[in-house]
Amino acid sequence: MRSEVLKNNGSAVRSEEASPHPSPLTPHPVLPPATLGMLGGGQLGRFFVSAAHELGYKVWVLDPDPHSPAGQLAERHLAVPYDDYAALDEMAAECAAVTTEFENVPAGTLDYLAKFIPVRPGAAAVAVCQNRIAEKTFLKDNGLPHGAFAPIHSEDDIKNANAGLFPGILKVARFGYDGKGQAVVNDRDAALAAFHAFKGETCILEQKLTLDYEVSIVLARDENGIVRCFPTAENSHRKGILDVSIAPARGAACLRDSAAEYAERIAEKLGYIGTLGVEFFVSRGELVVNEMAPRPHNSGHYTLDACVTSQYEQQVRALCGLPLGEACAHSAAVMVNLLGDLWYDGESYREPDWAVLTAIPNLKLHLYGKHHARPGRKMGHFTVIGDDAEAVLKTAMDARRAIGIRDE
């Protein structure tokens, strides 16, 4: 039996006698008050729903979590698995176009929906980003800067791997994120132990690089190949999870320009339509592509408050065939993630003192409405904006300490 969450806010509800599937060749642009579909219900989907609502669209969300943040705001929330084809039929019948907020939606789901309505980004582009081996092979085949790597399907692959890959990082090929599913391995024995810990799952062994720092680019590309790049963000992490993003990045302008050029090439080679995030390592002064995210990106949250058009509005515009908005920033910005650790004081669970943050006039607080906080879970973020980049950074780091984030 399929369960679903419905919103009784006056939105149209599909009858059981719905019309046949619309054609996937629905003419563009898709204009308000059309209904859009979102696969995935996390915070990225929640911001998409808000952006779509501001432009006058309705949104259906499909996500198995009955408490999904995006589902709370949507006109309709289908709380079912991504391969529930009866629910996909409903979405195809009622939505004018569909997008996704995370890369691990099954490719079969995207392919199925694409038979009936526009799906952006397409399944082929998402599939490259779903698998680290496919991703690194794509970079290699297209002459894009990447670290040395080897696919690992068995113990023999580790035993026969090039010695230059050690010390390295062993990562599961699929479903790893925010530092999960990976281990630093200094030699073959450590790699074998990690491979066993991952239960023999297909992995990729990547050479460990000397890191100067990390940056990312978020861009939007439309159906005509027009690209709008947001300012490059400089990122720092704690325990494998993004902690702070500074925009614009403080590195050399030529490096920032090169990052944008590489990201545009990636989008072009993927035939990408939508919002795309590209992460880079800066190693010995050179850019190396780390990974691609076929969706809005955590490091692009600052665009909500510091840019003419946010990454989420761009996602709506690209999906609907509207002209892309300007991606330039009107303010310097520093974004800080708020993890579930802040809800714990030792063993006790309590709400953080948000008055500490709301007292800062140029700080924008965003809480995601997640059902329960747990350590490491992204529960919200704040962004400080202003004209003076150094002052913005100081204010953000002071606020970070004041709310209780401690460096270890």
Give, for all 408 residues of the chain, the pLDDT tens digit.
333 444 333 333 333 333 334 444 445 799 999 999 999 999 999 999 999 999 999 999 999 999 999 999 999 999 999 999 999 999 999 999 999 998 889 989 999 999 999 999 999 999 999 999 999 999 999 999 999 999 999 999 999 999 999 999 999 999 766 567 899 999 999 999 999 999 999 999 999 999 999 999 999 999 999 999 999 999 999 988 999 999 999 989 999 999 999 999 999 999 999 999 999 999 999 999 999 999 999 999 999 999 999 999 999 999 999 999 999 999 999 999 999 999 998 889 999 999 999 999 999 999 999 999 999 999 999 999 999 999 999 999 999 999 999 987
Question: 342 by DSSP, 3-state: which?
Answer: helix
pLDDT of residue 21: 42
Question: Can you read off the two tokens belonging to residue 268?
Answer: 């072009």
> Which contiguous run of DSSP H or E holds residue 123?
helix 123-130
Residue after which a domain boundary falls, among 190, 207, 224: 207
Q: Which domain holds residue 341?
A: 213-403
CATH number of 72's domain:
3.40.50.20
Is position 142 within any domain? no
The DSSP call for residue 29 is: P
**Residues in contact with 250: Cβ distance below 8 Å, sequence separation at least 6, in sequence order:** 234, 389
Q: Looking at the structure, do residues 398 and 275 belong to the same domain, yes or no?
A: yes
Cβ 75 vs Cβ 7: under 8 Å: yes
How many independent structural domains does the chain possess? 3
Q: Looking at the structure, do residues 88 and 185 belong to the same domain, yes or no?
A: no
Is position 282 within any domain? yes
- Considering only CA atoms, which of 218, 237, 369, 368 is closest in space to residue 306? 218
Is position 301 within any domain? yes
Kindly list the distances between the CA atom of residue 361 and the CA atoms of 325, 347, 364, 394, in Å, as whole numbers in the listed order. Answer: 27, 32, 8, 14
Is position 133 within any domain? no
Q: Is the peptide bond before 323 cis (omega within 30 degrees of 0)?
A: no
Q: Looking at the structure, do residues 370 and 230 belong to the same domain, yes or no?
A: yes
Is position 127 within any domain? no
Is position 50 within any domain? yes
- Considering only CA atoms, which of 36, 163, 47 is closest in space to residue 92? 36
Is position 143 within any domain? no
> Which contiguous run of DSSP H or E holds residue 220?
strand 213-221
pLDDT of residue 1: 36
Taking every pair of C-alpha atoms in the chain, what is the biggest distance, in angstroms?
Answer: 63
Q: Looking at the structure, do residues 180 and 251 belong to the same domain, yes or no?
A: no
Is position 367 within any domain? yes
Say how many C-beta atoms besides its own lie within 10 A of residue 222's C-beta: 22
Q: Looking at the structure, do residues 311 and 371 belong to the same domain, yes or no?
A: yes
Q: Looking at the structure, do residues 83 and 166 belong to the same domain, yes or no?
A: no
